[in-house]
Amino acid sequence: MSRDTDDGATSGATAQGFDPKLIEPYIVKDPEALALNVARALENLGKAASTWLAPRERGEIVDPVSQPLTELVKTMSKVAEYWMSDPKRTLEAQSYLLAGMFGAWTRTAQRLAGGETAEPSPQLPNDKRFSDEDWQRNPFFDFLRQVYFIGSEWAERMVSDAEGLDEHTRHKAAFYVRQITAALSPANFVVTNPQVYRETVASHGDNLVRGMKMLAEDIAAGGGDLRLRHTDYSKFTVGENMAVTPGKVIAQNDICEILQYEAATDTVLKRPLLIVPPWINKFYILDLNPQKSFIKWCVDQGHTVFVISWVNPDERHATKDWEAYIREGIDFALGTVEKATGEGKVNAIGYCVGGTLLSAALALHAKERNKRIASATLFTTQVDFTHAGDLKVFVDEEQLDAMEERMRASGYLDGSKMASAFNMLRASELIWPYFVNNYLKGEEPMPFDLLFWNSDSTRMAAANHSFYLRNCYLDNALSKGRMKIAGKTLSLKDVKIPIYNLATREDHIAPAKSVFVGSSLFGGPVTFVLSGSGHIAGVVNPPGKQKYQYWTGAAPTGAFEDWLEKAEETPGSWWPHWQTWIESLDDKRVPARKPGGGALNAIADAPGTYVLERA
């Protein structure tokens, strides 16, 4: 998560004096109507509270609240200890904060007296949460804005300047500070958000009635947990207006379904394409709709496309670990491809953790002299987790022990827990704006296919998730040549096949630097490409949109910053560049193939049945 600095209001050089007319929209015109609606809103809030409490009173939900709060208090106490252990440092910290607050108060007092004041120096950040004009025009809200940024900057500085913290503790402290400051933004409260305040007065509080009704509905939809709605879910149905590229399920086991898509060209590339998506999300991010679908685009280029659709696991899959996901997922898919096409070699794609699994599978295959995968493309994939970003905040021995204890009880990690963690990485974009829009303004969110997919969360099999977090985030075992699967110690240096390694510049899950560093671990040629935008939009960027850009350059060695400085920027999508790379490896073509060939019968139409299971 990072503070937005390229959107919203632009700070002016001076702030005008106080205009009494500015308070008119905030004066309650009908106190009786407002009081009645506030009572109705409180009634709906009571229903929301009852819906939240009921499953907890029945013992159906046990909230391990103490563990994350303990982590936060323990981490922040280490920061406080540094500043409070020395009176001189304590005075320094207090003086810095008070100086900023006094400056904000002085500027506000001057405006209330009718004078004009200069903007604080340095100027406050541009932030779309504060885009309403009254954040600057109205002295009251302007004061709140100044105090918020002064306090936020002070808190971040207390973490960054604290000495004696280990890297993980400092990382956690900085993350917790960002979560706290995001939650305490004055934009998140009725009487301190000018737009919400005005709407509450204008509608006599009807917005709060609608908002609290939506809150109760969203807690009910989450079975007692808040399921924050990001979009209008009624507008999307998987298999009807999402994931509609024609194809068939041609194989199935306990872990996955294998989909083969129907050809759209008279001839197809001889070498089939197998996509290994992450199991943390569902595969149809690559097939949202015909205009955005990477899968359809590949079919249109002449690929015979196969996709693994992972099961949404439950207690039956508790012991399925990475070896199972390789053997019963990737290897099962490779066998299916060979039966359906007669081809012994494929081009493979792995996305995010699907790419990490694919990389481990390649290293295992190298040990076993399995040469079925002729090339691999990795989308936003980490194999070295040294620079893995804010998700590392959730991974240390104590937190993993607590998570594994919870997973032992059910056999899996609930999908909502992982979704919440991802949303926390960008709380100022994925949590609080929707909280304000839904529950304070009482407005339904707009239909957005990407956010529908984002909310369609999946569970994590206990053994699989534990192996991933311990071996990758905690021990970084794959990059160190210490990961063990099927009794073999894996080394990425054994992977000699060509690799196309795609990173995205604004990625908060697989940071570009992390992906770049991982490129040097493979034993064969690696083509590193950097796309504009983030973890999803940087990948799902069809050529027809003419959005963003990508960078290409020399072999990925040395420092990422040095590579980027010399890289060549190209406008638009990286997809055609990748297609050229694929065809440079093998461009032989054969007559178009039908799903299953003559060896396998269709089990179901794409997108299959596993993808329809909701967590």
For residue 559, give every residue at least 6 positions away whose Cβ sits within 8 Å of its Cβ, in sequence order, or none: none
- Domain assignments of the chain as residue spans, ordered by start: 247-413+459-612
The total of other beta-carbon atoms located within 10 Å of residue 613's CB is 14
pTM of the predicted model as reported, rounded to 2 decimal places: 0.90
CA atoms of 152 and 184, how far apart (whole Å): 10
Active-site annotation holds for 256: no
Contact 539, 507 (CB under 8 A): no
Look up residue 504 and give its two tokens: 């995205």
Q: What SS3 state is found at 28?
A: coil
The pLDDT value recorded for residue 12 is 42
Regions of the chain short of the pLDDT cut 70: 1-18, 63-68, 118-123
In Å, how far are 36, 59, 61, 271 from 318, measured between CA atoms?
Answer: 51, 22, 20, 35
The pLDDT value recorded for residue 17 is 62
Taking only the tens place, the pLDDT of each residue in 195-247 is 999 999 999 999 999 999 999 999 998 888 889 999 999 999 999 999 999 99
Burial bucket for residue 450 (CB in 10 Å: 0-12, 13-18, 19+)? middle
Active-site entry in 256, 298, 352, 472: 352
SS3 track for 290-304: CCCCHHHHHHHCCCC
In Å, how far are 315, 473, 485, 491, 599 from 482, measured between CA atoms?
Answer: 29, 13, 10, 8, 40
DSSP β-ladder status, 549-552 and 568-571 = antiparallel
Tabulate helix, strand, coil % of the chain (nearest 5). 50, 15, 35
Look up residue 170 and give its two tokens: 């400092």
The maximal CA–CA distance of the chain, rounded, in angstroms, is 85
Average pLDDT over the chain reads 92
DSSP E strands, 479-525: 484-485, 488-489, 499-504
Select from 384, 381, 388, 391 the least CA-distant residue to 529. 381
Taking only the tens place, the pLDDT of each residue in 184-194 is 999 999 999 99
CATH number, domain 247-413+459-612, options 1.20.1440.230, 3.40.1780.10, 3.40.50.1820, 3.30.460.30: 3.40.50.1820
| Alpha carbon of residue 493 to chain centroid | 30
Contact 521, 384 (CB under 8 A): yes
Select from 363, 334, 323 the least CA-distant residue to 496. 363
The pLDDT value recorded for residue 399 is 87
The pLDDT value recorded for residue 11 is 41
DSSP β-ladder status, 373-379 and 499-504 = parallel
How does DSSP assign 216-273, residue by residue? Answer: HHHHHHTTTS-----S-GGG--BTTTBS-S-EEEEEE-SSEEEEEEPP-SSEEESS-E
Q: What SS3 state is found at 380?
A: coil
